[in-house]
C-alpha cells in the first residue's frame, strides 16, 4: 500500500476540532489504558490555518509493547496500517471515509510527541508565523504539488525551521519541548 495520495488545501473549518473530539473520544473508549494520551496535531489543529482536510490524531504510548494492540484495534475501526511510512519512531495509520483521519502512534513524551505539540502550540499562538506557514503551503500547492509525498518534501526545509522556532518559543515559556525529531 502506498502512503502517497492526492492532496489539496481548504480554508480552516471549525468542524475539524469537533471531528477530532469525536474521534478521540471513540478511540479513547476503544484503546483504554493502551493510549497514554491522544492529541490533535497538524494544521487542522490550528484555528485559522488552511489545511489538507484530514484530521491528524497523535496517540501516545508509554512504550511500543502496546502498539500491536492499538494497531489491531484501529484497523477494526476502519484505519489502514502503513507502518512507519518513512518516519522512524512513528507508526502511521489512515482512515478515508466521509471524515478523513490520520493516526500517528508515538512514544508519549518522546521527540515526536513534544515536537508536534510545540509546532501546534506555536502556530496557535503566533498569527504572523501561522500566516507565513499558510502562504508557504499555498505556494507549494500552486506550484504543482498535488500528492502528499511531493507536498511534504517541498515543505520539509520550512518545517525544520518552524520546529526550531517552535522549540525556542516553547523553551522560553518553560514548556521544555527541547527535542530534535519532527
Q: Does residue 181 register a pLDDT over 70?
A: no
Q: What is the pLDDT of residue 180?
A: 35
In the chain, % of residues over pLDDT 90? 93
Residue 151: C-alpha distances to residues 80, 99, 136, 137, 158 (Å): 21, 21, 11, 8, 12
Q: Does residue 34 register a pLDDT over 80?
A: yes
Q: Does residue 179 register a pLDDT over 70?
A: no
pLDDT digits (tens, 9 = 90+) for 111-150: 999 999 999 999 999 999 999 999 999 999 999 999 999 9
The larger pLDDT score, comparing residue 1 to residue 144, is at 144
In the chain, % of residues over pLDDT 70? 95
The larger pLDDT score, comparing residue 14 to residue 180, is at 14
* Annotated domain spans of the chain: 15-172
Q: Which CATH number fits domain 15-172: 3.30.460.10, 2.70.150.10, 3.40.50.970, 3.20.20.70?
A: 3.30.460.10
Q: What is the pLDDT of residue 7?
A: 97
pLDDT digits (tens, 9 = 90+) for 37-76: 999 999 999 999 999 999 999 999 999 999 999 999 999 9
Q: What is the pLDDT of residue 99?
A: 96
Q: What is the pLDDT of residue 174?
A: 85
Q: What is the pLDDT of residue 176?
A: 55
State mean pLDDT over 88-93: 97
The pTM of this model reads 0.92
Question: CA nearest 148: which of 102, 97, 81, 91?
Answer: 102
Amino acid at each position: 500500500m502506498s502512503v502517497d495520495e492526492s492532496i489539496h488545501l481548504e480554508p480552516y473549518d471549525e468542524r475539524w476540532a469537533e471531528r477530532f473530539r469525536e474521534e478521540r473520544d471513540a478511540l479513547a473508549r476503544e484503546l483504554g489504558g493502551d493510549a497514554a494520551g491522544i492529541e490533535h496535531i497538524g494544521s487542522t489543529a490550528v484555528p485559522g490555518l488552511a489545511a489538507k482536510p484530514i484530521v491528524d490524531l497523535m496517540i501516545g504510548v508509554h512504550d511500543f509493547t502496546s502498539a500491536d494492540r492499538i494497531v489491531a484495534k484501529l484497523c477494526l475501526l476502519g484505519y489502514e496500517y502503513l507502518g512507519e511510512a518513512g518516519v522512524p519512531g512513528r507508526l502511521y495509520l489512515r482512515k478515508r471515509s466521509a471524515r478523513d483521519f490520520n493516526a500517528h502512534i508515538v512514544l508519549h513524551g518522546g521527540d515526536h510527541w513534544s515536537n508536534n505539540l510545540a509546532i501546534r502550540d506555536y502556530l496557535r499562538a503566533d498569527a504572523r508565523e501561522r500566516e507565513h506557514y499558510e502562504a508557504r503551503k499555498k505556494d507549494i500547492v500552486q506550484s504543482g504539488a498535488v500528492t502528499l509525498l511531493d507536498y511534504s518534501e517541498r515543505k520539509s526545509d520550512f518545517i525544520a525551521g518552524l520546529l526550531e522556532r517552535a522549540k525556542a518559543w516553547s523553551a522560553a515559556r518553560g514548556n521544555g519541548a527541547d527535542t530534535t525529531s519532527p
